[in-house]
Amino acid sequence: MLAAKKALTPELREGPFKRGQYFENHVPAHGEGCLAGSQAMVKTSGAAQLHRGGAHGEGCLAGSQAMVKTSDAAQLLRGSAHGEGCLAGSQAMVKTSDAAQLHRGSAHGEGCLAGSQAMVKTSDAAQLHRGSAHGEGCLAGSQAMVKTSDAAQLHRGGADGEGCLAGSQAMVKTSDAAQLHRGGADGEGCLAGSQAMVKTSDAAQLHRGSAHGEGCLAGSQAMVKTSDAAQLHRGSAHGEGCLAGSQAMVKTSDAAQLHRGGADGEGCLAGSQAMVKTSDAAQLHRGSAHGEGCLAGSQAMVKTSDAAQLLRGSAHGEGCLAGSQAMVKTSDAAQLHRGSAHGEGCLAGSQAMVKTSGAAQLHRGGAHGEGCLAGSQAMVKTSDAAQLLRGSAHGEGCLAGSQAMVKTSDAAQLLRGSAHGEGCLAGSQAMVKTSDAAQLHRGSAHGEGCLAGSQAMVKTSDAAQLLRGSAHGEGCLAGSQAMVKTSDAAQLLRGSAHGEGCLAGSQAMVKTSDAAQLHRGSAHGEGCLAGSQAMVKTSDAAQLHRGSAHGEGCLAGSQAMVKTSDAAQLLRGSAHGEGCLAGSQAMVKTSDAAQLHRGSAHGEGCLAGSQAMVKTSDAAQLHRGSAHGEGCLAGSQAMVKTSDAAQLHRGGADGEGCLAGSQAMVKTSDAAQLHRGSAHGEGCLAGSHPSCSASEQR
């Protein structure tokens, strides 16, 4: 190993070109894992950063321009501060883009001095979104660590003392609010048979909708008793799994039905009042008949509310007496949702069965005579419109080899996106030919799975791209026209620029379709030439999806930047004047409502040094999974110590951002890598054992 290093030294001293060249041959990423200071490490492709959302010079030489400069676009994805990892105290570190905060929802004073009051104090509002403990990362055993706000638990649903000393009160006690999100038992993971395991808070059940004593001793009261609140989420009967015939099984709360839309006494004793009575409210969700499963011929079965039908789109008298008016009459509106035949379940051969409204078929896409007499015309004929939703073959279920099976309507393929002859004889024309319409749903290439190099593989229909949103020739020969040309339609789904990946400066890159922006909600000219009209103009429609300010990215101080639509904020939950002129009232004032969605501190993006910026909740880190002292003074304990739990979410190395050469940086947890998928020693000291051994192995 020593000899290898010595042999490299003279070669490396010859100049930066050779350095960069040497390591580019060994490392796939631009400078990932290269010698510190090499050109490969400094140079970072903006395109690559867009996906990972890292700073321009992530892992570059400390103090280099690459590290300081951070692309706003990259930050949009990761939602980190502009100068994350910059020189301690530099302006880049202090300034934090409001836009970046939108994604990450960080606390007020993130990056404050370790142990400062700002770090200890955590706002409950901010915790609502991220749901971490108040004193996460605080001194072990400190009150801040023990105390956990119920609000914070709401998002994460962890126990109050998650990670506390085994058997401590903090571990045993579990706030109901925390359970709301995770829906676990109070003492999930507690000693078997302990009271904590038996007792289950109703609030916790709300999310998971399980029985009170799920997993409790069979026959225990906890298992029998089922809270209505818990049922709300899962919509099961009160005593689902209870002793047959028990009161818990019979009684079914209407509220619980609201979610699942089942009858009041679904599964109750046949003929019981609970079964007969059906709440309209419950029906609204499932859209079933009033007396679904009721006594045949009862009024409950006959009467069917149109409102209930609207959701499921069933016939008025589904399950009614055969031939009754209720069965025959079918509202078009109801059919719109489910797309069933007018007389589904009617007498075989009756007109009701034969007649099928096109509108009804639109939703379910069933054959005209689905369920008709085998071989009848109704079964063979299949409306293209009906196929639109289900996307089945014309004669699905027909005699093998019949024309009905072979012929497949393009319209039908629209939903399922399968090949014309999917399941046909291998090598048959049906298998090879693939309709563009079918590709619309699946978004695969024309000849996906075809012979390599065949025309079918090369040609890619624009329609197919609509769903997957890939370039025309994704996977085509590099430099081919198919690769360069990118259909606007395809961009609609993925919302990328017209020429994403095109030659830099090409017209394709500059031009950005408004339609494509609608999905991604970016500015019209995101990535356009700075100051170009495309960059300045920002469509309100695009903002609706992303919920950014009207002029995000506009010329600083322009009216577009100042004005921020409340509607846009509703989706993103940002401060009222995010991105406004520094020091303006709009920037200072932050609506609590907006914070509710994003879970950031009240004064995020306020004047540097203001109290609002200083106040930061530690718990906010749980959602983002950053290190305890991210952005702290270099060399401080806060920076060195990195909680494994935090890494689990972000998937960064154990010592990401730690002192160069420290053990924390060298050691990289496999679990963390699983999330990010980066190399084990990304950014480690050149020549460190993991990095070198990895290079040698490669």
Q: How far apart are CA 513 and CA 491, in angstroms?
A: 8
User: Picking from 37-46, 533-542, 610-619, which range would have the lowest pLDDT averaged per residue?
Assistant: 610-619
CA-closest candidate to residue 326, choices 359, 282, 294: 294
Q: How far apart are CA 466 and CA 474, in angstroms?
A: 13
DSSP state string for 461-490: -HHHHHHH---TTTTS-TT-HHHH---HHH
Spatial distance between the Cα atoms of 681 and 683, rounded to a whole number of angstroms = 6
* Residues 640/632, Cβ–Cβ less than 8 Å: no
Q: Which pairs with CB-CB distance under 8 Å and at least 24 residues apart come from 444-450?
A: 444/417, 444/468, 445/474, 445/475
Name the average pLDDT for the chain: 38
Q: Do residues 495 and 502 touch, judged by C-beta distance below 8 A?
A: no
**Token representation of residue 25:** 């041959």
pLDDT at 597: 34
Distance CA 598, CA 589 (A): 16
Q: Residue 152 — left, alpha, or beta (φ > 0 → left; ψ -120 to 50 → alpha)? A: alpha
Q: Is 32 helix (H, G, I), strand (E, B) or coil?
A: coil
pTM of the model: 0.14
What contacts 410, CB < 8 A, 6 or more positions away? 384, 435, 436, 437, 438
Instruction: Determine what percent of the chain is predicted with pLDDT higher than 70.
Output: 0
Per residue in 282-312, pLDDT (tens digit) is: 333 333 433 443 334 444 434 433 333 333 3
pLDDT given for residue 348 in this prediction: 38
Report the residue count for the chain: 698
Query: What pLDDT score does 21 carry?
Result: 39
pLDDT tier, 152 (very low <50, low <70, confident <90, very high otherwise): very low
Dihedral sign (CA 646, 613, 111, 101): positive
Residue type, position 165, single letter: L
CA dist 225 and 205 (Å) reads 12
Residue 13, number of CB atoms within 10 A of its CB: 9
Per-position DSSP letters for 558-627, written without gaps between them: -HHHH---HHHHHHH---TTTTSSTT-HHHH---HHHHHHH---TTTT-STTSHHHH---GGGHHHHT--
Compute the average pLDDT of residues 359-388: 36
635 confidence band (pLDDT: 50, 70, 90): very low
Both structure tokens of 412: 């039908």
- At 463-519, the pLDDT tens digits run 333 333 343 344 433 344 433 343 333 333 333 433 444 333 444 433 433 333 333
Q: Which whole number is the average pLDDT over 29-40?
A: 40
Angle, vertex CA 454, rays to CA 438 and CA 488, nearest 5:
50
Summarize pLDDT for 162-212 with one digit per residue, the tens: 433 334 443 334 333 333 333 343 343 333 344 443 443 333 333 333 433
Alpha-carbon distance of 342 to 210, in angstroms, equals: 38
Instruction: Specify burial of residue 501 (Cβ count, 10 A radius: 0-12, 13-18, 19+).
Output: middle
Q: Are 525 and 512 in contact (CB under 8 A)?
A: yes
